[in-house]
Every structure is written in C-alpha cells, then in structure tokens.
C-alpha cells in the first residue's frame, strides 16, 4: 500500500542515547554492516536500497564521466528486477544526498530530481511504502528501526507517477530509449519468425506425409 509523502518526526537524541541505540543496533546485526559513533556525535553506517526502476537509466562510460554536457558515450538500459545496492553514509546525510550518492556510485547520468526514496515497512500485518521528504535522514530511520529489513527497507523509484514526462528527458536520453525500443522490437520479431518457421516446417512435413503414394 502506497501512502503520501511523509516526514518522520526526528526526535532529538542525546549523545548517550545515540550510543546506547548504536550498541543495541550492532548487537543485532548479522551481516557485519555495523554503525560507528564518532567523537563529534555524528555516526556512520550502511543502508541497503532496492532499485525499483521501470524506465531505462542513462549510464556514463569511463570516457564521459565528469562532463556536464550530454555525450554519445552514454548508454541507456533497464536495471534488473530486485537489484539492491549498499551505501555507506552518515547521520547528517539527507534523502536527496543519498539519491545523488547512489546515482554517482553507478555513474547514472540522469537528473537526480527524477528519483525519490521510499521507505517500506510493516504495520499491522500490512506493508506500507511511503515517499520520504528530501530532508529526511535515512541513517536515523535505520537506527531507530533496527537492522532488520523486514521492519524497514529503502526503495529507489522514479519520482513521477503515471505517464512518463518525456519532456523532462534530454535528446540523447530519448534517442537511447528509441534504440532500446528498436532492439526490443527486433528481438520480438526474431522470436515470432522462429516460432512460425517451426510451425510451418511441421505443417509441411505433415503435408508431405499425406501426399506420399500409398
């Protein structure tokens, strides 16, 4: 069940309370992805983000990384379903910064404004997916919920809902999308041609058997 954007009440925790929560969190961790409290009160840790992207993403090649202008060295492709990525972040990082870091990590050239981070949690035997505010702090949510992803997990989705806003894409992105559609169309045509060729072969073989002199 998807619900509207939510801003979690960020309860102020003293340094001692944060220390106790981190100790409790680390004692429950099973994948070695523990949190660390620094002397300045800022803590660091890991979050896992599931990618639920239904449109292609544009990825820069090693030659075009760092350029601000669109390049022919960019490629668009679909991410596989269920792709999960792990990020090391701090308690000061916001949702917007997490999205930007995630895209940068995988050289995604798309505008970060096209994406939104969601939290998925279980409440009263139901699963809720809620879009987080850009100013929310994911590591704080992870600390409060504990390390179990069954209790809380993070999901990256396209920001827009419903019909795609194609005018928000650059010309190279749209050209890459067209190339993907052409490839998919050709692949489907090859499958259909192979299927009907096999069917035609079986019919011709049956016909030759019927026409053989008795």
- Which residue stretches of the chain have pLDDT < 70? 1-11, 61-73, 160-169, 213-214
Query: What's the confidence (pLDDT) of residue 79?
Result: 77
179, 181, 187, 193 alpha-carbon torsion, rounded to 10°: -120
In this prediction, residue 68 carries a pLDDT of 47
- pLDDT for residue 147: 93
Domain boundary assignment for the chain? 15-158, 166-211
CATH class of 15-158: alpha beta
Q: What is the pLDDT of residues 20-71, one digit of tens each?
A: 999 999 999 988 899 999 999 999 999 999 988 887 788 876 544 454 444 5
Measured CA to CA, the distance from residue 175 to residue 152 in angstroms comes to 38
Q: Is 125 exposed, middle or buried, given 0-12, 13-18 or 19+ CB atoms closer than 10 A?
A: exposed
Q: Is 137 left (phi over 0), alpha (psi -120 to 50) or beta?
A: beta
- Tokens 């073989």 map to which residue? 205
The pLDDT value recorded for residue 69 is 46
Identify the pLDDT of residue 124: 73
SS3 state of residue 61: coil
Cα atoms in the Cβ-side hemisphere of radius 13 Å centred on 52: 16
Residue-level pLDDT at 42? 93
Residue 135's nearest CA partner among 98, 87, 85 is: 98
DSSP code for 205 = H
Per-residue pLDDT, 139: 95
């Amino acid at each position: 069940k998807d619900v509207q954007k939510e801003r979690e009440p960020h309860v102020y925790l003293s340094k001692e309370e944060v220390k106790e929560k981190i100790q409790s969190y680390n004692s429950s961790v099973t994948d070695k992805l523990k949190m660390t409290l620094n002397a300045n009160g800022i803590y660091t840790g890991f979050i896992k983000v599931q990618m639920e992207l239904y449109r292609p993403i544009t990825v820069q090649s090693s030659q075009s990384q760092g350029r601000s202008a669109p390049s022919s060295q960019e490629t668009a492709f679909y991410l596989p379903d269920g792709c999960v990525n792990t990020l090391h972040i701090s308690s000061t990082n916001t949702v917007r910064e997490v999205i930007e870091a995630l895209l940068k990590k995988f050289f995604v050239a798309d505008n970060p404004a096209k994406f939104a981070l969601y939290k998925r949690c279980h409440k009263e035997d139901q699963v809720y997916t809620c879009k987080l505010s850009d100013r929310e702090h994911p590591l704080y949510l992870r600390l409060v919920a504990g390390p179990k992803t069954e209790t809380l997990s993070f999901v990256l989705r396209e920001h827009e809902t419903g019909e795609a806003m194609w005018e928000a894409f650059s010309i190279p992105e749209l050209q890459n999308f067209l190339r993907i559609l052409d490839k998919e169309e050709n692949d489907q045509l090859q499958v259909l041609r192979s299927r009907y060729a096999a069917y035609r072969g079986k019919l011709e073989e049956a016909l030759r058997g019927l026409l053989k002199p008795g």
